Structure formats: structure tokens, C-alpha cells
Structure 1
Amino acid sequence: MPSPTGAETFPAATAAAAHIFTTVLSHGPLTRLAVARRTGLSPAAVTKAVRPLIEAGYLVEQAGADPETRPALGRPAALVRVDGGRALFLGVKLTGDEIIGVLTDLRCRILLSRRVPMGDPAPRTVLAATADLVRELLAEADGYGVRVAGLGIAVSGDVDRAEGVVRYSPFLDWHDVPLAGLAAATGLPVTVDNDVRALTVAEQWFGAGVGLSDFAVVTVGAGIGCGLVVHGRVVAGAHGVAGEIGHVTVDPNGPPCHCGNRGCVEAIAGDAAILARIRETGGTEVADTAEAVERARRGDTDAREAYARAGAAIGRGIATVANLLGPARVIISGEGLAAYDLFAEHIREAFAAAAFGSAARCDVRTRPLPFEEWARGAAATAIQSFISAPD
């Protein structure tokens, strides 16, 4: 039986070969000709890159034909697809009160998941609990007889992926925490990324962003996040903080934000901001988001006003993204979608009012995703690191 972990190198020696593999991963099964058309590479280059991937078992051939390239006469060309069982990956999502872990195959399909309470949010405690969860998942992965090739960790805030360091996470109150240090504790290559960017990678390769060169993922809940894909690449920015829609000012006279500014989208539309608004306008205590939602659905004026205000802020924030980047689609997700019926109309109205010209044609859609899908996003970043060719 193969070892559950190891240092096998992915056999895509060039950036072109990695691009070919990710194309098949997202769009396959495909014929070699279809791969060439999608990547803009020559059929000869595709054949050269595919051969070692088939020999190593990462791609397999199957009978059939791609309707895009079916010949009018003669024998249909064989399709190539990714063998999802060739390697396994782990993904971990850290929230304010839970650690969620998943085991996926190479096609990022979740095979099993586990949740453990966060407890003490001190970095040392969380790293130890995460390492324990990873070891538990590794023990279960051993039953698949396939090695685990990487671990992805997703956390909110300012994350330096290149260094594997959480520079600042407001919800955990972390500063300069080296999560990549889990490599020593787990024996796995570790990829650390911002949670919304990780979710965006999963949506680009396996979700509602497949086939789109320009789109955005906006998440609503405890915070307001945004992942951006521009010309087919997830944007991190020069300092790792691209897409911080939560800290776009939409009301200069609005409430203070933890970032130091006033009237940020997050200061109006984040869960804590909504609760604060209900307390402020109603003069009564509200225990949590569930109670706020219940009040609003019962017709409580103060609760409904807080959600309407939040929806307008989110709509203006999304319009800012549309005006700046012109994405084909904006995908709204996050735990805050549980209350979407309370602010959906206000998002649409504010977006339509603030979007300029053709930017208003952007396809804005919702995609409810549990936290296991965010952990799957972390696994997607591990897959991305595994198959990326060195420069």
C-alpha cells in the first residue's frame, strides 16, 4: 500500500503542462484537440504534455468523443480526464469558533469531513488542535490506499500565501501567525490562504465560475469578503489584500469600522453591525443573528431596517467591483445568506442604481455554501500548489 504522505513531484514540468492539466480538471473529459483549442496551444504541445501525465496516472484515456470536436467521418478521438483517485488532499477552514476539515480527491470531491470546536483562539492552541484534526483525517485517508499530497488552510483576514503567514485576522485577533509551520507537525506541504480567495479558487475550477475569465465571489456573514478572478487568474494583489470589498467606504458618515475608517460595507452589513444597528434603533437587546432574523421575519421594524440598510451597502459594494473590473458574474455566498430574503431586494436596487452603464449587465447570483465548502476551497489551493509548475 502506498504511504499516505510523500514527496512525489507532479509530472507537469512547465507552466503550459500545468495549464493543460487544470483545463482538463475543470472542463474534462476532453479530446486533445479540444484541450488545444481551450488553451491556445498547438495539438503537438498538448500531446507532448499529456503523455507523461497519462504515464504517471494523473490523466486517463476513455472512449467517446467531445461534441465540440467530433469528426464528420472516421473514428472518434479518445477523451482524456483526470483520475480523481490518483492523489488525496486535505482542506481546513478556521472560523471564530470551529475548525472544519475535509478530505478530497484530486478533483476536489469531498470524501469525508470533520468539525471540532475552536476553544481557545490562541495561535498555539489552534495550531495544536488543527494538527490533531489533520492527523485524524490522515488516519482515515490511509484506508483509501492513496497518498495525501498536500494540506490547504483557509482563514479570514490578511494572509501572506507566499510565506504561509496570517498577517492579521480580526476575528481571531491574530497577528503574524506562521500557519505554514504545520508542515513540520503533519509531514505535508502546506498552503495557507485567505478563506475567500480559497473559496474563489474552488469556484473557478469546480463551481459557478468554471469557464469564466472574469468574475467575483462576494461573501456575507461575520465579515464581508471578496475574491476576484481577472483574465483567468485569482488576484491577490501586491500585498495580498486585493478584493477587500468589506472595507470600501459606502457612507462616510456611517458607523466606525474595526479597520479605523467609517461607513465601510462591513461596518454596516457584517453580522455584528446588523445586531448593533437593531440595538441602537430599537433600544432593546438582541442575542444573536438567529434572533435578529426571526425578529425581521416577524415584521420587527428595527430589524427589517437594519437588514435593508445592510443590503443597500452590499449592493453598492458589488457595484463598485462591477464598475472597476467589469466581471461577467458576481457570486454571493457566505453564512449570511440564511437571511438573504431580508435584503436581496435592497442589494439589487442599490446595485442597479450604482452600477455604471454596461456594468449593470453583470450576472449577480447567490450560491449558499456550508463551511465544508470553504474547507474544500482550502483543499483546492493545495491542489493548485501541487500542480503548479515552478517558474
Structure 2
Amino acid sequence: MRPTPRAETFPANTPAASQVFTTVLSQGPLPRLEVARRVGLSPAAVTKAVRPLIEAGYLVEGVDEEARPALGRPANLVRVDGGRALFIGVKVTGDEIIAVLTDLCCRIRVARHLPLSEREPKAVLAGITDLVQQLLGEADGSSAPVLGLGIAVSGDVDRGEGTVRYSPFLEWRDVPLAELAAMTTGLPVTVDNDVRALTVAEQWFGAGVGLSDFAVVTVGAGIGCGLVVHGRVVAGAHGVAGEIGHVTVDPAGPLCHCGNRGCVEAIAGEAAIVRQIREATGAELPDAEAALALAREGVAAARDVYARAGEAIGRGIATVANLLGPERVIISGEGLAAYDLFAEQIRDAFVAAAFGSAARCDVRTHPLPFDEWARGAAATAIQSFIGPDTSR
């Protein structure tokens, strides 16, 4: 076992300092005056906030040579030193564990994958620990410390307690994963729902940068949704906000594993699509890849199943738009491999079901491999390290 990683406290000890750092992290490099404008603070307050961050090496200030103006005095820009600290992110799926080592700007340095043959918590924890030890070894050559571990799991996750309340794909109930992982790795651990973790990464480092209100909808084994409202990732009072996969869009539709009928996930989740194509064609389909191949071959019944899936997803997105009025909805997930088969239906169903100006919501796709989901877990670790005021 490697020595216990070094503990370190982030020097921003006020909400204002955390807000300034987060703004520079996600939107920088920026001049101090622009930072003050974006966070709504006085220039003096920004100067006070950045001073300890510069002294500790988390922020650096200097002239951006690439943006140097032809005339006039060049502006000093504040930026995050990404190499100042490292973080590890882990995404647990039903059959694989993916782990990444990132810098403070959440740029992936190393990725590792480990097949998962058993889903019992003990086996998964052993796999996570093994991957973390490998990545700590990769970090040994760097002067930057590893300061946190984020773990992303599908299902009902209580981030505050670090407990997986219920994960249908892992068949877990009430697993204190943060506590267990902290004991085996020696790192501060953040555990969150995988879609919320991906949403944090999109908010700070991806297609949601600078947006106050947006949603991330993931399609694949399940149908998930992460919500950002007034700049905050929303978990809800019971930790299940954004579960559009269990919004009923067809009361007479197929039975969902949650016990209701006609949920978006019961129509558009990968398992549901495979089941429906089997029933419609009689074909022996081992997995979603085979179902997709059949549809691409032009089999009408298979293509109809994907079309219905697109309609269900479009109605689910419209529900989000009608309730929250987001500026943007980002569609992602492994299910985007079939996007050409249901893109038109998603758009048509969304426009038909969205109320009034909600239909003007910018709906776009952003395909992301599983390494990016692990990066989302690292983003939650970075978020926790910066301070609790940035986490919700």
C-alpha cells in the first residue's frame, strides 16, 4: 500500500473567494475587473479574494502573450494553475470501472479501465482501490498532490452522506461508499449520482460554461437528467431531482422496473429498445449493439422502435423545458450511437410538447465516452475541495 496521500486545505475560506476561483476556473483567464463584473463584487473584494489563492499557487497572474494587443498596455490576466493539484475520478458501470487522473482544470492525464465481473460492494470497492493505487503511482512523478477522489454511480445517491441509497444496475441498497473508499484509499471522497457528476463537468468545463440554467439529458442504459438552476446543480430534497427517465409519457405503455407504466426509460432505455425489437421481429438480439445493427439494416419494425424511443425522449425533454425553462438542453450518453435513427422524432416531439417560448430552448448533442463520465466524478471532487458553497 502506498503512503497516505497528503492532506491539504483550500485557502479560499469565504464564499466570495470560492466564487471568484470557480469563475476563473471555468471561464478564465480573465482580468480582475472582468472577474469582478462576472461575480458581482467590487474590484477591491476580488483583490482580497485572489491574494491568498495566488500566494498558495492556485492562481497565477500575468500577461497573455497570445492576446497581447498591438497598441496599448497589455492586461494582466488571472488564471488557474492546473498543475497545482491532481484529482481522481471514478465511474462505476454495471460491467466496468473507469478511473481517470486529472489536473485542477479537470484535464485528463491518465485513464484506466477495469472489467467488473462481480457487482457486490466488496468487489467493486476492491476494483476502485486498485485503480486509485495505479493512478497514485502515475502521480508519483509529479510535484502536485492528489487532493481528492470522486466516484460516480447511477441511481439514488446521497452526496451529503456519501451513500448509494439505491443503484438498480449494481443492485445496491444503502452502501456507505464514501466512507468505505476513504478507508481504503486514504483520500477525501465525494460520491454522487453519475448524471449529476457529468452535469458538474459540463457546467464548469463543457457545454454549460457561463449558463445560469441548463439541463443534461443522458440516453443509454437509463435515461437521466442533470439540472442546473440559477447556477446550482439541483439534487432536490430527496436527491432524485431530474429523474425524467421515470416521467410517464404513455400511461398504457410498457411496465418500467420502477413499477409504473410508460416511463421514458421503459420505452427508450437500451434494455427496453432491445426487448421491443425482439418482440417485434422475433430476432435473437444479445445486446443493444445488435439491435442497432438490425435497425441500420433497414428492418422497419426495428426502426419503428427507435422512432418511438425518440418521441418519448422528446416528450421528456419538453417536460424539463416546460417546468424550468432552461437556456440549453445537452443530450449525451452512449445511446447517442443511434442518434440518427431518432433525432428527428426527438426534435418533433419536443416542439409539439413544449409550451410557448419553451420551444426556443437550445437542444444540442454532446457525445461523451465513459472516460468523460469519470472526469465528471473528478469534477465533483474538485468542487468539494474548493468548498461546500460551490456544490449545490
Q: TM-score range by the shorter chain?
A: over 0.9
1:130 lines up with 2:128 in the alignment: yes
SS at match of 2:141: helix
Aligned equivalent of 1:33? 33
Aligned equivalent of 1:111? 109
| TM-fit CA distance, 1:304 | 0.4
Question: How is 1:247-262 mapped onto 2 (pairs within 5 angstroms)?
Answer: 247-262=246-261
Q: AA paired with 2:83?
A: G
For 2:4 and 2:340, how far apart are their aligned partners in 1? 45
Question: How is 1:312-351 mapped onto 2 (pairs within 5 angstroms)?
Answer: 312-351=311-350
1:175 lines up with 2:177 in the alignment: no
For 2:176 and 2:388, how far apart are their aligned partners in 1? 24
For 1:283 and 1:64, how far apart are their aligned partners in 2? 63
Aligned equivalent of 2:5? 5
For 2:64 and 2:83, how far apart are their aligned partners in 1? 21
Aligned equivalent of 2:220? 221
Aligned equivalent of 1:21? 21
Determine if contact 1:156/1:196 at 8 Å carries over to the other structure. yes
For 2:220 and 2:274, how far apart are their aligned partners in 1? 12
For 1:4 and 1:108, how far apart are their aligned partners in 2? 22
For 1:389 and 1:165, how far apart are their aligned partners in 2? 17
1:52 lines up with 2:52 in the alignment: yes
SS at match of 1:260: coil
For 1:390 and 1:209, how far apart are their aligned partners in 2? 19
For 1:227 and 1:108, how far apart are their aligned partners in 2? 19
For 1:23 and 1:278, how far apart are their aligned partners in 2? 47
Determine if contact 2:330/2:363 at 8 Å carries over to the other structure. yes
1:193 lines up with 2:192 in the alignment: yes
Unaligned runs of 5+ in 2: none
Q: Which moved more, 1:271-280 or 1:17-26?
A: 271-280
Shift of the 4–56 alpha-carbon distance from structure 1 to 2, 3 Å rule, reads: farther
SS at match of 1:30: coil
For 2:216 and 2:328, how far apart are their aligned partners in 1? 8
| TM-fit CA distance, 1:64 | 3.8
Q: AA paired with 1:336?
A: G
For 1:318 and 1:379, how far apart are their aligned partners in 2? 27
For 2:372 and 2:31, how far apart are their aligned partners in 1? 30
SS at match of 1:290: helix
Shift of the 116–361 alpha-carbon distance from structure 1 to 2, 3 Å rule, reads: same
Q: AA paired with 1:109?
A: R
For 1:307 and 1:52, how far apart are their aligned partners in 2? 54
Aligned equivalent of 1:97? 95
1:384 lines up with 2:344 in the alignment: no
Listed one character per residue, the Cα deviations across residues 361-387 of structure 1 (whole Å, up to 9, x for unaligned) are 001000010000000000000000000
Shift of the 65–242 alpha-carbon distance from structure 1 to 2, 3 Å rule, reads: farther
Q: Which moved more, 1:75-84 or 1:41-50?
A: 75-84
Aligned equivalent of 1:244? 243
For 2:290 and 2:282, how far apart are their aligned partners in 1? 15
| TM-fit CA distance, 1:280 | 1.6
Determine if contact 1:164/1:179 at 8 Å carries over to the other structure. yes
For 1:25 and 1:304, how far apart are their aligned partners in 2? 44
Aligned equivalent of 2:211? 212
Determine if contact 2:4/2:186 at 8 Å carries over to the other structure. no
Determine if contact 2:18/2:389 at 8 Å carries over to the other structure. no
For 1:297 and 1:61, how far apart are their aligned partners in 2? 53
Aligned equivalent of 2:286? 287
Q: AA paired with 2:54?
A: I
Listed one character per residue, the Cα deviations across residues 199-238 of structure 1 (whole Å, up to 9, x for unaligned) are 0000000000001000000000000000000000000001
Q: With structure 2 as the length reference, what TM-score do the two structures score?
A: 0.96
Determine if contact 2:64/2:76 at 8 Å carries over to the other structure. yes
| TM-fit CA distance, 1:75 | 3.2
Aligned equivalent of 1:161? 159
Q: Tell me the percent identity.
A: 77
Shift of the 116–34 alpha-carbon distance from structure 1 to 2, 3 Å rule, reads: same
SS at match of 1:144: coil
For 1:340 and 1:106, how far apart are their aligned partners in 2? 33
Aligned equivalent of 2:137? 139
Determine if contact 1:58/1:83 at 8 Å carries over to the other structure. yes
Determine if contact 1:334/1:368 at 8 Å carries over to the other structure. yes
For 2:75 and 2:4, how far apart are their aligned partners in 1? 35
Q: AA paired with 2:269?
A: G
For 1:299 and 1:119, how far apart are their aligned partners in 2? 35
Q: Which moved more, 1:298-307 or 1:311-320?
A: 298-307
SS at match of 2:23: helix
For 2:309 and 2:388, how far apart are their aligned partners in 1? 43
SS at match of 1:125: helix
Determine if contact 1:265/1:317 at 8 Å carries over to the other structure. yes
| TM-fit CA distance, 1:178 | 1.1
| TM-fit CA distance, 1:389 | 5.2
| TM-fit CA distance, 1:65 | 9.1
Listed one character per residue, the Cα deviations across residues 295-315 of structure 1 (whole Å, up to 9, x for unaligned) are 111110111011001000000
Determine if contact 1:322/1:359 at 8 Å carries over to the other structure. yes
The number of residue pairs the alignment matches comes to 387
Q: AA paired with 2:164?
A: V
